[in-house]
Amino acid sequence: MKVVSPVRYFDEHMLALARWVAERYVAPLATVLGAMSPPRVAGEEQPHAGGAAGALGAASLPSASLLPSASLRSDPPGSPPTPPAHRPELWSQYLRGSDVARTIGSGAGGFVVRPAPEDEQALVLEAVQGCVEGGRRALVLVPEASPRPATTGALVEAFGERVCVFAGGDARTRYRTWLEIRDGAYDVVVGTRPAVFAPLREVGLIWVSRESHPAHREERAPYYHVRDVAIRRSQLAAAVCVLAAACPSSEAAAMELPVVVPAQRRWPKVEVVRPGTEGRAPRLIRALRETRRAFVYAPVPGYGIAQVCRACSAPAACAACGGMLRAASGEVRCVVCEAPGRCGACGADSFGIRRGGAERVEEWVGRYATVPVARAARPRLPKRSGEVVIGGPEGVRDLGVGDLDLVAVLDADLAARRPGLAARERALAIWMEAVGWARPNGHAIVQSSHPSDPAVQALVRGNPDRFHARERARRAAAGFPVGAPVFRVVGTDALAAAIRGHAPITELTTSLGGRTVCLLALEPGRVPAFGAAMRSLAAAGVVERVEAEPHI
């Protein structure tokens, strides 16, 4: 109806990708197109409004298309560092590694790569270098922006001004960067989830780092997953897509892509011991007395859980909502509503505490370790001078090669009790990333009362294949097979009957707030017809919202 901007936001290839996303995730095409670019800042499109970036955007306005090919920059401004030299022997140390190296240089395809912990950044650099030298551009996707991932830092150090970090920043900065990418200013783009739609031309490689990380899934419409979008974009661009993780997701494992793993075992020794009081297994205590650099994974926050009211002896429960009360940082609060801890029976604020949590772990580890002990405020590795760091899931990030003496995993049995179909898989992925920090010369200790548990055994072997086989069987038995699209649909009373007409594998219906909520899993081939029906029902007022791949 009118020209919103003189800048063209997508070409025919990106439009094809947007249509695929809209169909796969049952979202309006306009919503998908809106998610593919940052909010517009008109001043950045003018020749003098945004400096060099504005000039770049304005200079491209007459053609305003991503389709015309632009040669890669051979002489970027400034004096960037010399890109890393080829290390062909690196890929040769991996089964099917030579296939990856050969395909990146001249072909297309998909691979699942399980890197040795000390090779994670080196493999990315080698793949990107091979892509750029082949005359194409590379897109590297990381799940988190802060603290800056080691993968991002390695790429910036190696390629200098030829690489763009597309993550974070204010609206003006993001739009300016987007325009620069669109105009071919960079050979390599590394960014978080939205970067999967970066307007990079001549894409030859899409590398998804830590593929199993939950941050790769968009929490707002259109609810896409980076893994699936990256695979589809690589197919449209005839590029190579690499899904890399120490423990890939069950979905990646079910794609039947070639799996690239070290030819020789390169995994630290992992001991499984039974927990002692508060997790203080004798073997762990001895190891802490001897270690200089260690990471202790304590997944439970706080100091402990309130068990009983000291005033009336009633079981401890929040007076506001009835939730569990946790002691942390010297005070007791509800873990549900975060209200100050008050007894639901008498209103008192004094409780008997069952000790156990990261704060308590810090306390008792400090009694045995011969080096300083700390719960780091930000994710980091222990100091080189010697330190034991206590951390939970938030502390396991892409921090580079750990070279630690010891990694300890506490409360491993909690993973089997956490809600959610993917809870055990997520726990295993975190464990494997943390235990990888013990390479190349350290070891790991895992405390579990069930040493034969498939997740624990996968950690011991450093190989999740058997675990994934068990997960496929378990999730199929639960009615949500791996690889089956899952949707949560909210609507009126007529919704349930309309859903059943699409023959879902599983369909669960309930009522919430006067609305009908359906959770269903479909055969992949039924999604297009299902999406068309949901759009028609939305127009008729039957469907209010469709959420793809909800957390279950």
Average pLDDT over residues 513-535: 94
pLDDT above 90 covers what percent of the chain?
82
pLDDT value, residue 418: 86
Of the ranges 1-10, 67-76, 145-154, the best mean pLDDT one:
145-154
- Does residue 470 form part of some domain? yes
Handedness of CA 76, 81, 84, 85 (dihedral sign): positive
Give the Cα separation of 101 and 107 in Å (integer).
10
Does residue 72 have a pLDDT over 50?
A: no
Retrieve residue 30's tokens: 């306009």
Average pLDDT over residues 450-461: 96
- Both 372 and 395 in a single domain? yes
Say how many domains are in the chain: 4
- Does residue 241 form part of some domain? yes
For the segment 328-379, what is each residue's pLDDT rounded down to a tens digit?
999 999 999 999 999 999 999 999 999 989 999 999 999 999 999 999 889 9
**CATH code: domain of residue 447:** 3.40.50.300
- Both 280 and 159 in a single domain? no
Which 3 state secondary structure label does DSSP give 274?
coil
pLDDT value, residue 398: 96
- Does residue 135 form part of some domain? yes
Residue type, 239: A
Give the Cα separation of 322 and 342 in Å (integer).
10
**CATH code: domain of residue 543:** 3.30.70.260
- Both 243 and 286 in a single domain? no
pTM given for the model: 0.90
- Does residue 449 form part of some domain? yes
- Both 169 and 258 in a single domain? yes
- Both 426 and 503 in a single domain? no
- Both 277 and 400 in a single domain? yes
Does residue 53 have a pLDDT over 50?
A: no
- Both 118 and 167 in a single domain? yes
For the segment 248-298, what is each residue's pLDDT rounded down to a tens digit?
999 999 999 999 999 999 999 999 999 988 888 999 999 999 999 999 999
- Both 166 and 133 in a single domain? yes
Cα separations in angstroms, 31 against 37, 221, 542: 11, 7, 20
Does residue 170 have a pLDDT over 70?
A: yes
- Both 165 and 242 in a single domain? yes
- Both 517 and 420 in a single domain? no
Mean pLDDT (the chain) is 90
For the segment 106-151, what is each residue's pLDDT rounded down to a tens digit?
789 999 999 999 999 999 999 999 999 999 999 999 999 999 999 9
* Residue-range definition of the domain harbouring residue 534: 486-548
- Both 396 and 417 in a single domain? yes
